[in-house]
Amino acid sequence: MNWSKTKTIFIICFLLLNIFLAYEFYQRQSEELTMDSPTQDITQTKNNVKIDTEIPKTPENVTFIIGEQQSFVKNDKNDLIDSLKSLQDTKDYSAQTIKVTNNGRTIEGTFEHPVDIPKQNKNYQQIIQKLIYKGNEYTYSSTDKDGNLHFIQVFDSTPVYIKDHNGFTFLNLKVKNHQIISYTQRYFVFTKTNKVDIINATGAYDNLIQNNILSGYKKNITLKKINLAYFNSIGNVDQNDTMVFFPTWHMQVKTEKDTHHYFVNAVSSEVQTLGNGE
Amino acid sequence: MTKEAFKSIFLTVLVLLSITLTFSIWFYQTDYESITPPNTTTVSIAESKNIHDVIKPYLAVNYRGHQILGQDSAESVSKLYELFQKGQYTNVSTDVKKNLPSRGQNPSYEIVFPAPLTIDTLKRLFTFNDNFIVRNNLYVDRIEVFQSNGNQGKVTAVFRSQNDSAVFYASVNRMSTKQLSDAITSENLRQYLRQSLSHEKHVYLPIDKTKVNSERVFYRTLDLKRYISVLYKDPDSVSSTKNAVYSDGGSQLEENPGNVLHYIKFNPGINKNKNNQDSVIYRSYEFINGYKGWTNSFVYDEFEPSKKHSQDGEAGFRIQLGNYLIYNTDYLGRYLPTVKLNWKSGQLTELYSTLIDMDPIYSKTTYELEGANEVIVELVSKHIQPSKLEDIKIGYNLSNVTDSNSDQIELTPGWFYKQNGQWYPVFTDEKNSINRRGFE
């Protein structure tokens, strides 16, 4: 018996066997990784998001609301409604000239004496309550790149957002040299309608993650705020239709470069954005 | 000598490596802790419902002498139905020629179901103290309660078929007509006309005009794929075509035009469960309840028993909004507001189910619908004989949602009649007298 030849044959056999076994072992590990991947992406995104706010409880008796734009004029002669007339006739620092446009549904006010902007955002509220018609029903929303201040309307302590291709704003204060010089305003009359079952805030947040909305941002993602709001469905603000607003979870997400606003429809779970870089 | 030593060492290493690899593969265990478990496929679409919330009457009738007063407010009808449920039915008799109370002497109270009920379904809805048998082909769609000697005497319930003839009757404990009278009375109680239709079916129609609001509703569409795990025991065996038709070889699931699910089983074979004595109605309710398929406020409204086997046939459920049911009068969209099941050999052979889920947003315009006589006159003027119709009802018209490019639709009220299983509007739009009152 040639022991040397036998060893060579055994070496070749075991070499082939080991290649086969190594391949099998690799296959098993790959299967595990494949099984892991779908949820891992979601979990990874979820782990990347820091939640820097309290998740609110779902309020009871949530309803749809409908809204119609109020006309600021009394008749065909475009006479201002009394509240605006008295605002226009004021002789103090809030004296202003009010012009009506858009079939009486928009007013443009110009202050005779530009008003200084308060240093803190929270003081904006005091200013607009004094200067603006039904100013207490608006709340600060954002400041654009030109320094103009944008406000949204509030109904039943819930902010209302409108998505409009023309960049609709409820109240826009024009700022020049740190002073408010003029403003544009629209006002909606809202009414509660039927009750509706809504998803909770956690469900809305999970939905945002599952839709891979945040997967494009790799790090430093922070959920800064989550609150219930109203958001319009399809509709054109300029057609003077009755507009329907859905209860919606509004999420403010801060990334490395920017702050993003996402709206998860609390009835249909659909994710929407304002689409105007608000 | 050195070469042979190297070969020996190399062979030993290879043998050890093969042992290690074999051992690793043999005892390989996935580290399940590091894997987030995927969401379990839950066989549930929306919610389950109590049988009394699905199989329920749509009208309450109060016979007072020669007057027929009707109440279609869902709230009042529901109150009356609860009282009927609380009653205990004893001394059941099918000898309807004897001791049957007659109308006119004392007021009677009747609840009317949208479609006939089998005896087994009735036994699940009401408490019967006796076991009784009624011929298979007899169905009940209305129950009338009488009380002899005012509020003091014996209470009797007569279970009637669509043509108003008694199927059986029973004594009722724990019920008084005083309670029924209190429940039915409200501002909606008004005079009704009794109209005879096909097969002598009697329907009640309000004599005066009826004011009903149109309703703006939000709808979302449901994903057909969610029904795969509901309709197939082994979802992994289901393959799909490019046109999103799912099949396991024995049955097919697809979306018909207009957001309607259509499932069909090609060859149901023989009845494997002959002991299942549940009627098509209860089996259909149980089937939908099993996967929590009540996406909307559905009400049982259709039953067509098989002529061959008593345990086979069709049952249907229709979406209700407020006091009225929703209809689609377009032939292709007729299943849009419904779930309809067909059973053969004790197995589900065909299913049509809406793929829209609706939430009413607000009431929009008030419509004033014609009274009973105007409805009959209109039908006759169109050469439609009421005696050939299967039903006449007030309801909401749901147009095909594919016609709308929004996520909202408006349901408009109107009169509808049923002929050959299909619903049609009695009046064309321009004939509906619209009283526009705006939103309140």
In the numeric block, which tokens belong to residue B440?
């309140």
Residues of chain A with CATH 2.40.128.690: 40-65+192-272
Q: What is the pLDDT of residues B48-91, one digit of tens each?
A: 999 999 999 999 999 988 899 999 999 999 999 999 999 999 99
Q: Which residue in chain A is spatially nearest to B7 when comparing CA positions? A: A7
- Residue predicted with more confidence, A133 or B428: A133
- Residues B409-423: b if buried by 16+ CB within 10 A, e if exposed: bbbbbbbbbbeeeeb
- Give the separation between CA B397 and CA B417, rounded to whole angstroms: 12
At residue B3 the predicted structure's pLDDT band, cuts being 50, 70 and 90, is confident
* pLDDT value of position A28: 79
Domain boundaries B211-440, corresponding CATH code: 3.30.310.160
In the numeric block, which tokens belong to residue B200?
């002598």
Residues of B in contact with A45 (CB under 8 A): none
Phi/psi at A219 (nearest 5 deg)?
-145, 170
The proportion of chain B whose per-residue pLDDT surpasses 90, expressed as a percent, equals 61
Nearest to B29 by CA among A230, A28, A65: A28
A242 in contact with B, Cβ within 8 Å: yes
Asked if B25 lies within 8 A of A25 by C-beta distance, the reply is yes
A233 in contact with B, Cβ within 8 Å: yes
CA-to-CA separations, A1 to A14, B11, B69, in angstroms, rounded: 20, 18, 113
Nearest to B252 by CA among B222, B232, B234: B232
Q: Give yes or no for residue B434 having a pLDDT over 50.
A: no
Given 3.40.50.10300, 2.40.128.690, 3.40.50.2300, 3.20.20.140, which CATH number is that of A40-65+192-272? 2.40.128.690
Asked if A18 lies within 8 A of B31 by C-beta distance, the reply is no
Residues of chain A with CATH 3.30.310.160: 71-186
- Give the separation between CA A98 and CA B219, rounded to whole angstroms: 42
A212 in contact with B, Cβ within 8 Å: no
* pLDDT value of position A52: 87
Q: Give yes or no for residue A70 having a pLDDT over 70.
A: yes
Q: Which residue in chain B is spatially nearest to A242 when comparing CA positions? A: B439
Task: Look at strands B67-71 and B59-64 and give their pairing.
Answer: antiparallel
- Residue predicted with more confidence, B320 or A258: B320
What is the mean pLDDT of the segment spanning A73-77?
80
Average pLDDT, chain A: 85
Helices and strands (DSSP H and E) totals, chain A: 4, 14
Helix residue ranges per DSSP H, B164-290: 177-184, 228-231, 280-290
- Give the separation between CA B347 and CA B335, rounded to whole angstroms: 21
**Residue that the structure tokens 């475009």 belong to:** A78
Given 3.40.1190.20, 3.30.310.160, 2.40.50.100, 3.40.640.10, which CATH number is that of A71-186? 3.30.310.160
CA distance A245 to chain B (A): 9
Helix (H) or strand (E) holding A100: strand A96-101
* pLDDT value of position A119: 75
* pLDDT value of position B104: 75
Helix (H) or strand (E) holding B190: strand B190-196
* pLDDT value of position B433: 43
At residue A85 the predicted structure's pLDDT band, cuts being 50, 70 and 90, is confident
- Residue predicted with more confidence, B406 or A136: A136
Q: What is the pLDDT of residues B151-193, one digit of tens each?
A: 567 899 999 999 999 999 999 998 888 888 888 877 789 999 9
DSSP B17-65: HHHHHHHHHHT----GGGSPPPPP----SS----HHHHS--SEEEEEET
Q: Is residue A143 within 8 Å of residue A149, measured between CB atoms? A: yes
* pLDDT value of position B42: 56
CA distance B125 to chain A (A): 28
* pLDDT value of position A277: 43
What is the mean pLDDT of the segment spanning A89-107?
85
Q: Is residue B291 within 8 Å of residue B230, measured between CB atoms? A: yes
Asked if B11 lies within 8 A of A11 by C-beta distance, the reply is yes
Asked if A22 lies within 8 A of B21 by C-beta distance, the reply is yes
What is the mean pLDDT of the segment spanning B24-37?
67
Task: Look at strands A63-69 and A243-254 and give their pairing.
Answer: antiparallel
Interface test with A, best of B20, B36, B222, B436 (most A CBs within 10 A): B36
* pLDDT value of position B329: 93
Q: Give yes or no for residue B435 having a pLDDT over 50.
A: no
- Give the separation between CA B291 and CA B361, rounded to whole angstroms: 27
Q: What is the pLDDT of residues B251-304, one digit of tens each?
A: 999 999 889 999 999 877 666 555 566 789 999 999 999 999 999 999 999 999
Chain A residues 6-25 with CB within 8 Å of chain B: 7-8, 10-11, 14-15, 17-18, 21-22, 24-25
- Residue predicted with more confidence, B151 or B92: B92
What is the mean pLDDT of the segment spanning A205-209?
88
Q: Give yes or no for residue B410 having a pLDDT over 60.
A: yes
At residue A272 the predicted structure's pLDDT band, cuts being 50, 70 and 90, is confident
Rank A238-242, B39-43, B293-297 by mean pLDDT and report only the highest: B293-297
Name residues whose C-beta falls within 8 Å of residue B16's C-beta, 6 or more positions apart in sequence. none
CB-nearest partner of A28 from B28, B405, B406: B28
Asked if A244 lies within 8 A of B8 by C-beta distance, the reply is no
DSSP A141-202: EEE-TT--EEEEEEETTEEEE---TT---SEEEEEETTEEEEEEE--EEEEEEEE-----HH
Dihedral sign for Cα atoms in the order B239, B241, B247, B248 = negative
* pLDDT value of position A228: 96
Nearest to A203 by CA among A257, A271, A115: A271
* pLDDT value of position B298: 97
In the numeric block, which tokens belong to residue B308?
């061959």
Average pLDDT, chain B: 87
Q: What is the pLDDT of residues B54-65, one digit of tens each?
A: 999 999 999 988
- Residue predicted with more confidence, B101 or B224: B224
* pLDDT value of position B78: 95
ipTM exceeding cut-off 0.85 for this assembly: no
Which range is least confidently modeled, A7-11, B158-162, B317-321, B436-440?
Answer: B436-440
